[in-house]
Amino acid sequence: MLLTRRHLLLACGAAGAAALLPVAPASAISQPDDWPAWFRANPQHVAVVLDDGRGGRVSHRAHERQPLASAVKVVHLAAYAKAVETGLVRPDEKVRVGEWEQYYLGLDGGAHQASLRALGIPSANGVTADDPHRFVTLDDLAAVMIRYSDNAATDFLRYRLGDALIQATAARWPVLEVPEILGEVLNFILERRVDVQQYLHDPQLQLEVIGKFPHIPKTYEGQRPWARGTWSGTAAALNRAHRVMTDVPIARAHLEHGHEPPPGVVGIGFKGGSLPGIITVGFGVRWADGRIGSAAVLTEEVDEQWYGRAAELVALTRKALLEPAVLREFQVSLS
């Protein structure tokens, strides 16, 4: 049988759909639990910058590198916003679903399938779109990159915007490593670096990926060694990125979508991320009186039980920006 991209996506996507689960949204839980106890027990594995915009601030290991997971996608969003503002791209630019899905290779915890459902795109096989010739817009891809952490959308945007713009944007926060996520996944599968564009156009390399995919570690613990070596950055840089994005209308519209602000707040922007052993959180808050709050929390060496409570960490960080008593709890736990 002739190998096609559809065969490849189905072979790998179906096998890897349950791995590398993304962080659940903050709305998934109403009350944070005892993450401060985890901080006290693991101060060397957490990096925090939190500024509530009214004088309350927490800084712990702010300039120490830790893995970023999908929290790094705020940089891709900043590049997209710049491209739209300068006329390099249009938000309504049409993109064939097949062009987007060529960057999909599973291992995203079902993020791509969630994106298809949100955009109303049928998927009878439960992995990829039924019609690869159907169109979405570039802004649709920016949306699912942030809301569902779709890795394929992220890499397509990188390709469409160009590495030069991505790197120029990242240079504003130079300690944030901005990966080709498909390249990182291929490294995990093949145990060597390969060029993403070569992979997309080389049937022999694609067959090698199919052959090795069934043998990659499937468990949480089995994937942690790879995740430790993925792209990294600092809490200070991620915090600055979120703070800047509160003043970029295109970016903040995507970051704030679906996050209902409480009284006195006009917008709450969020992007988190996770890989086995890693949970990351980034927030920007716009108060009605003009104040700006922001936060970045990076954790590593998180065991599977605590990983399952990632949404509690998101909720705790959000509350710390909004409630001084919770911010003080952060300060005490990391003092």
pLDDT recorded at residue 3: 46
Share of the chain above pLDDT 70, in %: 90
The 10s digit of each residue's pLDDT in 306-319 is: 999 999 999 999 99
Query: Residue 99 sits in which domain range?
Result: 20-333
Instruction: Indicate if the pLDDT at residue 261 is higher than 80.
Output: yes
Give the mean pLDDT of 157-182: 95
Q: How many CB atoms lie within 10 A of CB 72?
A: 27
* Per-residue pLDDT at 1 exceeds 50: no
CATH code, 171: 3.40.710.10
pLDDT of the residue at 37: 94
Mark residue 191 as left, alpha or beta (left: phi above 0; alpha: psi -120 to 50; beta: remaining): left
Q: Which residue has the tokens 């130079």?
A: 174
pLDDT of residue 335: 83
Domain membership of residue 245 (yes or no) is: yes
Would you say residue 179 has pLDDT above 70?
yes
Q: How many domains does the chain have?
A: 1
Residue 177, domain member (yes or no): yes
Mean pLDDT, all residues of the chain: 91
State yes or no: pLDDT of 162 exceeds 70: yes
Per residue in 203-215, pLDDT tens?
Answer: 999 999 999 999 9
139 vs 4 pLDDT, higher one: 139
Mean pLDDT on 155-180:
95
Q: Is the pLDDT of residue 277 over 60?
A: yes
Tell me whether residue 315 is in a domain: yes
Q: What is the mean pLDDT of residues 281-285?
A: 98
pLDDT at 9: 56
- pLDDT (tens digit, 9 = 90+) per residue, 19-64? 444 444 434 344 445 999 999 999 999 999 999 999 999 999 999 9
Report the DSSP beta bridge partners of residue 285: 268, 293
Task: Give 4 or 122, the one with higher predicted confidence.
Answer: 122
Position with higher pLDDT, 17 vs 154: 154
Return the ∠ at Cα 71 (arms to 65 and 75), rounded to 5°: 95
Whether 7 is covered by a domain: the verdict is no
pLDDT, position 106: 87
Averaged pLDDT for residues 85-92: 98
pLDDT of residue 298: 98
pTM summary value: 0.92
13 in a structural domain: no
